[in-house]
Copies of this chain bind each other. A is one copy, B any other.
Amino acid sequence: MKLVIFIIDGLGDRPNERGLTPLKEAKTPTMDKIAEEGICGLMNAIDIGVRPGSDTSHLAILGYNPYEVYTGRGPLEAFGLGMDLKEGDVAFRCNFATVDKDFKVLDRRAGRISEEEAKELEKEIDGLEIDGVKIFFKSKGYRGALVLKGDVSDKVTDGDPHKEGEKPIVKALSKEGEKTAEVLNKLLKIVYERLDKHPINIEREKRGLPKANIILPRGGGRVPKVEKFYNKYGLKGCCISSTALIEGIGKMLGLDTYEVDEKKMNIEERAKIIIDKIKKYDFTLVNVKLADEASHDGKYEEKKKIIEETDKLLSLIFKEIKKDEVYFVLTADHSSPIEVRDHSADPVPIVIWGKSVRKDDVKEFNEFSCAKGSLHWIRGEHIMRILLDLINKNEKFGA
């Protein structure tokens, strides 16, 4: 038996003045059929009233305690870029940015330099060593990740001042962070010296473009101890997503990761990849992101349309899935109400579909109908346990 968790990012919503949500109003015949044939409920990835990020909620849904393994965006970004990370390393997200002669930030994104330019500049930073701390840097366009290895701590502020006109300076948050702050400040000086005069930047200056002469580290975190997914569950798993964040989580847990560009690929192409991976792996996590993006933009109709497209994607996938071969979970990582334009703690609908689930009376997949399902209300951490139990891979406690 295979396992699939299909997450529609930010799917849940709050009712509008007509008492409707994008999901309730959208035509979703496939989702409704899954709900009708499965067991339904509501789910909070972390807990009631806890408003999760997509990162913390995905970790919880995969059975990892985010209070233990989530240490900030830095490590996830570095994992996502495929960097070599060991427990105790400290990692940051970074932007290439522009500072003036007085070291004041002029442009926090250096006019979004190209992939190729970034790759050249990366070489000036990656592999440095300062006071015994080894420094690794990998770019992805104007963004990147910075990893410190050695006697380092994450008890430091961002180097990113988060506004223009101020200087990038790292401060220690406690005595423990003092050495790391010093190393980072030295690093920022060295980066400026090396990049400001770099041919790429000379060239950019000629073309009237801002120089990418600094990096701004932020979201620093200590790389946590994390048991790989395969070791934890004995399942060969993969993760299909269109965002670096989810890919980073997948890589951190040792899942094979696949990118599906939701904006460039059509439904058929996306379905083909997902079906292929479901057939190949014991466990497949799918994250589709666009509903959350529409929510952040406050676009009700757009969110509804994306949900209807996702239903079509699901209809193609379900043509290839048999009930005695797959347990399929359809849910969301969190709600992203249109009125909030951000994540909220409202629970999300969930359905577990497959041969031996105790089907209930719920016939529609939405925030209201699923509240009447026989799963009642669960937390993200319960999902993997329920699935393992359904495939009889759950360890017995007692005799």
Contacts and interface: CB of A to CB of B under 8 A. Distances in A.
Given A15-B358, A358-B15, A392 B53 contact: no
Given A66-B397, A398-B66, A371 B360 contact: yes
A160 to B, nearest CB: 15
Interface string A1-39: 000000000000011000100000000000000000000
A55 B399 contact: yes
A381 to B, nearest CB: 8
Nearest to A398: B53
A129 interface: no
Contacts of A389: 49, 51, 344-346
A17 to B, nearest CB: 8
A397 B219 CA distance: 13
- Chain A residues touching B, majority SS: loop
A267 interface: no
Interface in A213-231: 219
B376 A42 contact: yes
A343 B396 contact: yes
A22 to B, nearest CB: 13
- Which interface class (under 10, 10 to 19, 20 to 34, 35 or more) fits A? 35 or more
Given A49-B382, A345-B386, A397-B46, A356 B374 contact: no
A210 interface: no
B54 A399 contact: yes
Interface stretch (A143-151, A181-189, A281-289, A334-342): A334-342
Contacts of A54: 398-399
Contacts of A209: none
A356 B367 CA distance: 13
A73 B399 contact: yes
A70 B346 contact: no
A70 B399 CA distance: 11
A377 interface: yes
Given A53-B399, A345-B386, A385-B48, A339 B358 contact: no
Interchain residue pairs A-B with the least CB separation, the first 6: A53-B398, A49-B385, A56-B398, A371-B374, A345-B389, A14-B356
Given A42-B374, A344-B389, 8 more contacts: A14-B358, A48-B382, A49-B382, A49-B385, A52-B396, A53-B397, A54-B398, A342-B396
5 contacts: A42-B374, A56-B398, A73-B399, A358-B368, A376-B377
